[in-house]
Chains A and B, each alone.
Chain A
Amino acid sequence: MDFSWVFNYWPLIAAGALQTILLLFISVTLGFVLAIGLALAQVSGPHWLRWCAKAYCTCLRGTPLLIQLWLLYYGVGSLLPMIPGLRSSFLWPIVREGFFFAAVSFTLNYAAYEAEVLRGALLAVPKGELEAGRAFGMTRWTLLRRIWLPRAIRIALPTITGEVVLQLKATPLAFTVTVMDLYAVAYKIRQDTLLVYEPLAVVTVFYICLTLMITRAFRIVEMQVPIRR
């Protein structure tokens, strides 16, 4: 085992870790917002919207993330230049990067899984609490904002932790579309130094640390909820 390369490569590793964390953060936050919409559409939307949200979740949960990523990057990516004006617009430098496609596909994928979790949680909120809210004369929006959603998120919190960790473990796929994330850095170091296992081991330690940090952070959030245990 030879770890002397770490001194030469640590800026690259740090940059890679940053990309991984950025990808995770973007996909989890935007995906969560999207998931709330999807879950609400499935629980209380009109019939057609319910059907659409259900179909979306089934399609994104039923196909591998790798295929979704490649469909976006190679498929949609090859169609994008045909949009007139996009090439010369200010968006082009963002839209042509692999990072953009990775972020979009991770967000869409995360939203589909998270929507299922939230759907279950929304249905698990005790009916009496919603009725109490209505009895106080809350409008639908207030009820959602003050009671339904906070209660559902509380119920779903342990599952959300798991989903975020799963999402972290999905981020190395971004390396297949030229994103220099943590895993891609390990790949590059392996090619530069001809070491097979050491870079993978270092990167693995990073992922495990990130996992521990995520679970710790969510545990702190969970502790904020005043529940008699």
Chain B
Amino acid sequence: MQTSLSILELLSPNPPGWGGVLLSGAVSTIMISLGAYLVGISIGLAAAAGKLKGSRAVATLLDLYTTAVRAIPELILIIGLYYAGTDGINRLLSALGFPPIEINGFLAAVLVLGVVQGAYMTEVLRGAILAIPVGQIEAASAFGMRPWLRFRRIVLPALIPNAIPGMANLWMSVTKDSALIAVVGYQELALATRLAAGNTKHYFLFFFAAAAIYLAITVASNVVFASLETHFRRGQPRAA
């Protein structure tokens, strides 16, 4: 029966075709990536601040976190964190006397990928902060700026242009790492594709289509990040 469908019919968004499934998979891939990216940025900012300003114990602990996450394969981290995380929360709940809950797959995916992203983001942001001329921050302190104001007005605007290339790299890697979530069974683009391909036996067609979607996401993000960088680098002298 499936062989009677043409390529266009197979990829059409309406039910006999699988285009809709693929597109909704693509949307959840983007949502997971966005969520994980934001979680990663928050963790990264906090951890970078901790590494630069924290006590020695805090810095050592954070060093352990970034080193471990960057040394262990993503697949193992994701699977380990996924099970350990959901299991840990349920144990905590039962210890507190609550019934166990079913953890939302989307939330788990976002948090797991976010923790992985956070480690890489920490290093990117730490490097970007270190690249700010110390005099600028000292000048801000000399003007009597409180730490928060100093961060908002001086450090952040100076940090963003330094950090954007690294952050762009991380965005690309999170969109691609989100495919690993397929292994723990949350339906995003990679798993949707596998489903479509398995059902229709048109493996080549569907994996090719998925690759095209991922490529489109990457190319579009490239454009966005390039324009972001020109925006944040406005007023800076051009590099030779």
Contact = CB atoms under 8 A, between A and B. Distances in A.
Whether A associates with B in a native complex is yes
A170 B73 contact: yes
B203 A78 contact: yes
Q: Chain A: interface residue count, which band?
A: 35 or more
A171 interface: yes
Nearest to A171: B73
A180 to B, nearest CB: 15
> Main SS of the interface on chain B?
helix
Nearest to B177: A64
Contacts of A62: 172, 214-215, 218-219
Contacts, number: 103
B145 to A, nearest CB: 38
Interface string B200-219: 01011101101100110011
Interface string A190-213: 000000110010011001100100
Interface string A160-171: 000001001111
B215 A211 contact: no
Contacts of B149: none
> Main SS of the interface on chain A?
helix
Given A59-B215, A63-B176, A200 B79 contact: yes
B72 interface: yes
Nearest to A200: B80
B73 to A, nearest CB: 4
Interface stretch (A65-73, A120-128, A136-144, A147-155): A65-73
A-B residue pairs, 4 tightest by C-beta: A75-B204, A71-B207, A62-B218, A74-B203
6 contacts: A59-B211, A64-B214, A70-B190, A74-B197, A176-B183, A207-B76
Interface of A: 58-59, 61-68, 70-71, 74-79, 165, 168-173, 175-176, 183, 186, 196-197, 200, 203-204, 207-208, 211
